[in-house]
Structure formats: structure tokens, C-alpha cells
A = this chain, B = another copy of it.
Amino acid sequence: MAERGYAGTSISAITRDCGLPASSIYWHFSNKQGLLAAVMERAAERWLSQFRADSKQRALGDRTLGGMLARAAPEIGAPPTEFLRLLILLALERRDGDSETLETIRRVRLRALELIREAIFETFRSAGEGDAGRIADTCSVFVLTFGEGLFVGQQIDPGIDMNGLTRQLEQAVLALGREQLQSSSSQAGSARETGA
């Protein structure tokens, strides 16, 4: 489904790939739609648990945005992100009665957002937890959005400069963060002055 879309993936194609006859598939899943739901649930689950495992290792390593992006860059377009294609494909396909799929997609997306948020927070931690938190809030969607763009761009043109772009993204977030720090400190300054 991640390759051909929902309609383009026939049950018989699945039987060819998994060996079981179609009727056996229907013993395990109620529907083609039900199969899709199960696939998405499992993909999300697997992705999440993998990142949880990573996080423990990361405890010793680089937990900033830069480190995260450096780890993510080579994976985009590679097998571990095939799952992303399924998500985006299904998000773009407007099938008829299918709010459940979009729901799952949103759930997974929120999980990604949290991960990004933590990385940004870590990056700006030295500026104080309050500011770091605010910057993380402001910029996490920005990073996620760019990441999705990266994926799509890589699908269209596999030869894009993934490392260059992720480096630019890091720079951009650093700059956005700094600007936010300045404006907040100047606000604080003016607030102090006003308070005086």
C-alpha cells in the first residue's frame, strides 16, 4: 500500500506476496479497510518502539536537533521510512468513508512532534528551561513540516542534497530561536523599564 496506494494494492497481490489465500486473509481481518487499519496501527507501533529504544541509547549521545537530524537524514527514503510513504499517501488520498485512517495518521504525527520538541528543547536548554520550552513549542511544527517536505522531495528527486538541507534546517531553527530569545529579552527589558 505504501507503494501503490490503497486502491492500487489488490488483495490478490497481497496473497501473492504472503502465500496465504485471500480467504485466510479475510479470516484475520474483517476487510481490506480493516487490514489497512491494522497495518497502520502496527507500523506506528513499531516506529514508536524503535524510537523509544533509540532514546535510551541517545541518553549518552547527542540529543540536540543537530544530532537528531544527523541520525534522521540518511534514513529518509530508506526502508525504515517506507512507513512514512504509507502515511502521507493515505493522508493525500481522499477515500470515501474513512476518518479512522486520518485519525491514526494524526496520532502518529503528534508522536513525531513530541520527539522534535524534545530535541529543540535540548538544543536551547542553556538559555533556560522557560525560553527553551517556548522555542520548542514555536519551532517544532516548523521542523516537522520541513521534514515532511524533505520526504516528498526525496520521492520526487532521490538525488537531493539531504545533508545540506538538514544542515540548513538546523541553522534556520537556531536563527529562529535566537531571534525569539532576543525579542523576549528585549520585551523583558522593556517590561522591567516599564515596571520601574
Seen from chain A, the residues whose Cβ lies within 8 Å of a Cβ on chain B are: 3-8, 85, 88-89, 91-95, 102, 105-106, 109, 138-139, 141-142, 144-150, 152-153, 155-157, 160-161, 165, 168-169, 171-173, 175-176, 179
Contact = CB atoms under 8 A, between A and B. Distances in A.
10 contacts: A3-B94, A4-B94, A4-B95, A5-B5, A6-B8, A7-B8, A91-B156, A92-B92, A102-B156, A106-B157
A92 B152 contact: yes
A168 B157 contact: no
Interface of A: prevailing SS: helix
Contacts of A105: 156
Contacts of A88: 88, 92, 152
A150 B149 contact: yes
Given A5-B92, A8-B93, A152-B152, 17 more contacts: A4-B94, A5-B93, A6-B8, A7-B7, A7-B8, A85-B92, A109-B156, A141-B153, A141-B161, A142-B169, A142-B172, A144-B149, A145-B150, A148-B152, A149-B149, A168-B176, A171-B179
B157 A109 contact: yes
A141 B147 CA distance: 13
Contacts of A160: 141, 145
Given A93-B5, A93-B89, A153 B148 contact: yes
B153 A145 contact: yes
A173 B171 CA distance: 10
A149 to B, nearest CB: 3
Contact of A7 (B4, B157, B173): B4
Contacts of A146: 145-146, 149
Contacts of A147: 149
